[in-house]
């Protein structure tokens, strides 16, 4: 078995030479230094775009066949994953079961310290086993170090059960990378605050998860142009947004867009197909069903 290097030898744990006198800097100097380091994060993500694209394809394929995207992580990594998961239903009107998260320590760890849970490998296996992952699912484990026992064991269990697995880390050649089918390694280097992976590492991983979920939903046709046409108008702000989307997407005036949204039963994609194809609500619903929710394809079918 390959032996893991000591934690202190990981790049994300090293001191950042540019920040060795951090505690002696002014507030403006601290902000400027952190900002300067943050500018390097997007470059680190750029280097792994092919792997991110592969992850988008895997997730889109899984969701298309009725499978799930299941995030798993501990601490900062798990909280970032949870944020991305819970934002999918309001953004894309997806079933909450289609994008899920597993957080070491449970949901209570979202609001309170629970870092000791990340060392519990048996709990990782148990939590993953409870979700019953299978060949239709994609399971994505996030750990900046790439060696968090809870996350590594959860990914290994998911892979054993036939799910496609993805590792998202900041350090190469890690146990998490070896446990997964696909690795995305954002090498952001040492943090301004040594070892504080909520900073550059966390920013990189939020960027990557945003790309994967948004990319997959776009590939599924839940986006029209660059408009989130699946948005569910559940409050006044979202109703106004939905009307604006209909106006931009179809060229309809405000009154027509408002009426179409009302006639659709406050279902933005239905209203869009009605306006774009000049069909009834029933025809629009039928077209969307035949197109598996792909709005652009539904418009073509309705016409």
Reported as a single tens digit per residue, the pLDDT across 73-93 is: 999 999 999 999 999 999 999
| 157 catalytic residue (yes or no) | no
Catalytic entry in 13, 87, 247, 259: 87
The two tokens of residue 263 are 């006639």
Could you tell me the pLDDT band of residue 2, with boundaries at 50, 70 and 90? low
| 118 catalytic residue (yes or no) | yes
What is the pLDDT at residue 184?
98
Residue owning tokens 């106006």 = 247
Mean pLDDT of the chain: 92
Whole-model pTM: value is 0.90
What is the pLDDT at residue 16?
61
Residue that wins the pLDDT comparison between 300 and 189: 300
* Secondary structure class of 140 (helix, strand, coil): strand
For residues 256 and 258, what is the distance between their CA atoms, to the nearest angstrom? 5
Catalytic entry in 118, 127, 157, 177: 118
What is the pLDDT at residue 112?
75
Q: Give the distance from CA 225 to its chain's centroid.
A: 20
For residues 74 and 43, what is the distance between their CA atoms, to the nearest angstrom? 25
What is the pLDDT at residue 4?
61
Taking residues 42-59, what's their average pLDDT? Answer: 97
Ordered strands of the 138-142 beta sheet: 99-103, 69-73, 138-142, 164-169, 182-185
Do 62 and 136 form a contact (C-beta atoms < 8 A)? yes
What is the pLDDT at residue 60?
98
Query: Is residue 3 pLDDT above 90, yes or no?
Result: no
What is the pLDDT at residue 302?
95
Domains in the chain, ordered, with CATH?
A: 7-219 (3.40.50.10490), 236-302 (1.10.8.1080)
pLDDT digits (tens, 9 = 90+) for 175-222: 999 999 999 999 998 888 877 788 899 999 999 999 999 999 999 999
Query: Is residue 15 pLDDT above 70, yes or no?
Result: no
Taking residues 89-110, what's their average pLDDT? Answer: 92
User: pLDDT > 70: what percent of the chain?
Assistant: 93
Do 200 and 38 form a contact (C-beta atoms < 8 A)? yes
What is the pLDDT at residue 17?
62
pLDDT digits (tens, 9 = 90+) for 227-274: 999 988 989 999 999 999 999 999 999 999 999 999 999 999 999 999
State the DSSP code for 17. G
Query: Is residue 223 pLDDT above 60, yes or no?
Result: yes
Do 139 and 55 form a contact (C-beta atoms < 8 A)? no
What is the pLDDT at residue 203?
95
29-33, 151-155, 162-166, 273-277: segment of lowest average pLDDT: 29-33
Strand partners, 185: 169
16-20, 217-221, 298-302: segment of lowest average pLDDT: 16-20
Query: Is residue 287 pLDDT above 70, yes or no?
Result: yes
């Amino acid at each position: 078995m390959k032996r893991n290097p000591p934690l202190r030898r990981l790049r994300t744990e090293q001191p950042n030479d540019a920040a060795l006198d951090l505690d002696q800097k002014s507030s403006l100097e601290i902000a400027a230094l952190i900002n300067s380091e943050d500018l390097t994060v997007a470059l680190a993500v750029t280097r792994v775009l092919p792997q991110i694209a592969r992850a988008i394809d895997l997730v889109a394929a899984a969701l298309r066949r009725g499978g799930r995207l299941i995030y798993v992580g501990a601490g900062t990594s798990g909280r970032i994953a949870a944020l991305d998961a819970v934002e999918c239903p309001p953004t894309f009107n997806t079933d909450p079961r289609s994008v899920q998260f597993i957080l070491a320590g449970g949901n209570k760890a979202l609001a309170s310290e629970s870092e000791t849970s990340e060392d519990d490998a048996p709990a990782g296996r148990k939590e993953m086993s409870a979700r019953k992952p299978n060949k239709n699912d994609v399971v994505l484990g996030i750990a900046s170090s790439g060696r968090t026992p809870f996350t590594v064991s959860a990914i290994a269990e998911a892979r054993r059960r036939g799910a496609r697995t993805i590792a998202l880390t900041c350090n190469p050649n890690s146990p998490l990378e070896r446990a997964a089918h696909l690795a995305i390694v954002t090498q952001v280097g040492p943090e301004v605050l040594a070892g504080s992976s909520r900073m550059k590492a966390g920013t990189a991983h939020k960027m990557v998860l945003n790309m994967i979920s948004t990319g997959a939903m776009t590939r599924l046709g839940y986006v029209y142009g660059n408009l989130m046409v699946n948005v569910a108008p559940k409050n006044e702000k979202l109703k106004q947004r939905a009307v604006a989307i209909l106006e931009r997407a179809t060229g309809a005036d405000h009154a027509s867009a408002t009426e179409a949204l009302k006639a659709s039963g406050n279902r933005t994609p239905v209203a869009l197909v009605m306006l774009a194809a000049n069909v009834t609500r029933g025809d629009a619903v039928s077209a969307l069903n035949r197109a598996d929710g792909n709005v652009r394809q539904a418009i073509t079918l309705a016409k």
